Amino acid sequence: MNRDLLRHHPGKTQAHIGLVFLLLTAGLISLAGTYWLYSLEPRLKADAKTQATVLAQSQSWILADTLLRQSSAERTSELNETMDEILVLTDPNTNAPFVSGIRIELDSSLAESDDNRILMRGDTSCTECFTSDIPLYSKTSRELLGIARFFSSSAFYQQLRDEVRLKFSIAIIAIILFLSAAWWMIRKLLQGITLSVRRQLQILDTLPFPMFVVNNDLQRVYLSNSNAKEQFLPVESNAQQPLLQLFEDPHDYEVLLQAHQLQHNIDSYECNLRTRDRKPYVALLSSTQVKFPQGNAVILSIIDITLQKHAEAIITKSEERFATVVDSLEDLVYVTDMDTHRILFMNKPMRDLFGNRVGEICWKTLQQGQSGPCNFCTNDKLLHADGSSKGVYVWDYQNTITGEWYTCRDRAITWIDGRTVRLEAASNITQLKTIQLELEKAKEAAEAASLAKSNFLATMSHEIRTPMNGIIGMVKLLQHSKPRADQSEYIEAVSTSSEQLLLLLNDILDLSKIEAGRLELELQPFDLEQLLHDSIVLVQNSAHQKGLHLEYSLTPSTPTILVADKTRLRQILLNLLSNAIKFTSQGHVSVQVAGEMVSTDTARIRFTVVDTGVGIPEPMSERIFDEFTQLDSGVARRYEGTGLGLAICKRLVTAMGGKIWLEHPGKEGSAFSFELVLPLASGESSLKLTEETTSVSSIVPRRVLLAEDNRINSLVAKHLLEQNGHSVTIAVNGAEALTQLEHADYDVILMDLHMPEVDGIEATRRIRSLADEKKSAIPIIALTADIMQAEKEKCLAAGMNGFLAKPFRPEKLEEIIAKTLQPDAELQGLDTSRAQD
């Protein structure tokens, strides 16, 4: 990194200041030593010497007085004594004598010889002592009599010098310590600054973008981080315009230069730069002027936006594509903020219709006369309580002015900035709506037609069943009237034809009910094995007549007490068995039943009816379950049938939630399977099943009131009942039945429903409202050719106790009479849909 900018960086400064402190300390020590040696110590010494001199002078007068003695010996003796006295004087501070020695040189006038001129006491050879020469004058003549040299002790001086030197040294050490502490603090401070600077430099080097620090006129590069060095060519600091080579276009450099000559910062300036690898480099330049100790500088930071620009270009293209697609839609598409209701986006059809309203409140600009959010604000239908999207909310809307219909698909989506917004796409469905309305009308018409057809069929069923009841009844009577052999053959032919006609009638009626969706399943517990047995018994005669072997099998693990519409289930089985017998000339027909538990209370039961008949060719396998479909015309001619049986089977199985199919088509023989998932019967249901399976063992003669307006039917019923020992009274309508009941007692009433004046329902109501409790409680059994469930329910509601569909078999009539007259008998619903099977 170019660190020109930091030539005076803290590390060097630290060393410089350390050197200054070292020199300062050394200078201080030298100065202190010099001051001590050349000033303070001599001064102390001079002061000590002065003190010694003053002391010596104070003692000199005593010696001068002694010199005036006449006798030399006396003078000498006295001088010695005086000197001794002086020598014992002691300094209390140092506990040392003031004077170590005294030497007196006498004037020649006082000395007898030169040997006597010098007198000495004490230590006069002391080299460290201060010497003071004191003249000794005569008090009287003022003559100079001698010179006394005092050798004053330097103890006081030495003590004083030591004390001062100690204090001086302490002061110097204290100053040095202070300077050291100051240096230490400054060093720590500088270390901190150095560390901080290093960190800053490291941070600069780790910056993810290139950065230069240049002088204010861009003529000198102070600093560049490693990112800048890696990406760009070396910047020549000594070049005239070192940054110029960075720019692909010199104009960009000029812009930057002019900005800084005017002392303007640049927040962001987009330009193309030249890199080491010569790859395209789009940069966002920013420059900031800063003040450094060495002068102003400019920090030039570079952000690589090449990828961003590339992405922007891609996004722009993407947006263009998006706009092309969205704008080309015929749908009105717009986006609004769910909180502020501001429009965030409108596609072209939307803009064409309303103008560009982006940024405006939707209910103010897209609607008129609204004081708040309108019906188009479907926010509550788009979000769950936790803020998650509910998905698409579709609703239709008709413009009250244009009358055009729109279907609106609203959805909460996440907008580009992260907030949740409402997207609505409104499609013009006026044409579709028109078609839909027409279809609805057509549907209603079709439903009306279907209803009419059903009504027609129900009516026709009733109208056909009524004479059929007469025919079948009369045939039965004839068969019991001991006809001749040829008559019996004719009667049998009539019976067979009437039976086939009834079968055909029932099939058509069933198909009609299924197609009209009016098939109602009567779920009840039943014994599967019993049902199989009964079904086999019903077709057994037919099989035996053709010499076919008929059998059924039930796997041991198959649950047998189940819940289903057993009548319909038996109908399916009988249809399949009848077909199998019909199309099999020799061999056998079998029913195989297998079941498995699919849960704790449901079982999957598969029924397979197998025969050894002609089989069904492959091409027919797909259409075999269609209405009125038989193998071919030849077959149809050979085998009688309407072609409705399998179609009814398929619809019944489907209505029960199962499926039916043809096994291995194309092979000889055929096998039809169907599968149902049936619930297991509970204990209570099983008990009911047991009760229902009771049967009538013997016929008890009863007094029967028969209300029937059809003369033939009343004749048939009357004779059938009378054949079994019952006494029968006939009433032609409900009113007459009431009259008959008032005048006589009856055990049971057989009530036709459709009668003139008072019908069977009304008559029953009136009977149940009679005051006579016995008569009002008389059992009433409905006899009707109308076998619709609704009719049966009407009977129940009116208070009837039993229901028998016409045409009926004589044994069925006896059975229901017997059951109805049993104590605690309730409504006895016999087979209503497949009467006379």
Partner 1 sequence: MLRRWLLLPLLLIVSHQTALADDAAQRRVLVGLKLFPAVLAASEALGPENTPPNIKVFIVYQDDENRAEEFAEILQDIGEIKGTRLIVKSLPIALLPQYRGDPPFGLFIAQRNEDDVQMISDYGRQHNVITFSPFRGDVERGILAGIVISDRILPFINRQALNTLPVGLKMFFLKVAEVYEP
Nearer to partner 1 by Cβ, of 139 and 310: the residue is 139
d(CA 155, CA 166) in angstroms, rounded, equals: 16
State the minimum distance, in angstroms, from the CB of residue 17 to partner 1. 50
- Which contiguous run of DSSP H or E holds residue 174? helix 155-206
State the minimum distance, in angstroms, from the CB of residue 144 to partner 1. 5
State the minimum distance, in angstroms, from the CB of residue 118 to partner 1. 12
State the minimum distance, in angstroms, from the CB of residue 99 to partner 1. 15
Nearer to partner 1 by Cβ, of 113 and 371: the residue is 113
State the minimum distance, in angstroms, from the CB of residue 63 to partner 1. 14
Measured in whole angstroms, how far is the alpha carbon of residue 773 from the centre of its chain?
Answer: 71
Nearer to partner 1 by Cβ, of 65 and 492: the residue is 65
State the minimum distance, in angstroms, from the CB of residue 166 to partner 1. 27
State the minimum distance, in angstroms, from the CB of residue 133 to partner 1. 6
> Which stretches of the chain bind partner 1, using CB under 8 A?
50, 53-54, 57, 105, 107-109, 132-135, 137, 140-144, 147
Q: What distances in angstroms separate CA 834 from CA 99, 119, 785, 788, 837, one per listed residue?
A: 167, 181, 11, 11, 6
d(CA 343, CA 632) in angstroms, rounded, equals: 69
Nearer to partner 1 by Cβ, of 91 and 107: the residue is 107
- Which contiguous run of DSSP H or E holds residue 540? helix 528-546
CB atoms within 10 A of CB 57: 14
Q: Give bridge partners of residue 671 from the DSSP assignment.
A: 610, 663
State the minimum distance, in angstroms, from the CB of residue 47 to partner 1. 10
Backbone angle region of 397, left / alpha / beta, with phi > 0 → left and psi within -120 to 50 → alpha: beta
d(CA 781, CA 408) in angstroms, rounded, equals: 59
Nearer to partner 1 by Cβ, of 48 and 680: the residue is 48
State the minimum distance, in angstroms, from the CB of residue 164 to partner 1. 21
Q: Could you give the angle at which helices 528-546 and 566-582 cross, rounded to 10 degrees? A: 20
d(CA 438, CA 419) in angstroms, rounded, equals: 43
d(CA 531, CA 528) in angstroms, rounded, equals: 5
Q: Could you give the angle at which helices 760-768 and 789-798 cross, rounded to 10 degrees? A: 20
State the minimum distance, in angstroms, from the CB of residue 115 to partner 1. 16
Nearer to partner 1 by Cβ, of 112 and 745: the residue is 112
Closest CA to 10 of 195, 180, 225, 215: 195
Nearer to partner 1 by Cβ, of 105 and 692: the residue is 105
Token pair recorded at residue 396: 């239709």
- Which contiguous run of DSSP H or E holds residue 215? strand 211-215
d(CA 223, CA 354) in angstroms, rounded, equals: 58
- Give strand ranges (E) for 557-695: 561-564, 588-597, 602-611, 659-663, 670-679
Nearer to partner 1 by Cβ, of 53 and 686: the residue is 53
State the minimum distance, in angstroms, from the CB of residue 13 to partner 1. 55
Closest CA to 213 of 204, 225, 222, 201: 222
What 3-state DSSP class applies to 739? helix
Q: What distances in angstroms separate CA 507 from CA 457, 489, 809, 817, one per listed residue?
A: 11, 27, 18, 27
Nearer to partner 1 by Cβ, of 139 and 480: the residue is 139
CB atoms within 10 A of CB 431: 10
Nearer to partner 1 by Cβ, of 58 and 318: the residue is 58
Cis peptide before 810 (omega within 30 of 0): no
d(CA 470, CA 448) in angstroms, rounded, equals: 33
Closest CA to 816 of 737, 719, 748, 723: 748
Nearer to partner 1 by Cβ, of 142 and 278: the residue is 142
- Give strand ranges (E) for 64-106: 90-91, 96-97, 99-106
Residue with tokens 């619809």: 651
State the minimum distance, in angstroms, from the CB of residue 132 to partner 1. 7
Nearer to partner 1 by Cβ, of 140 and 545: the residue is 140
Nearer to partner 1 by Cβ, of 50 and 487: the residue is 50
State the minimum distance, in angstroms, from the CB of residue 169 to partner 1. 30
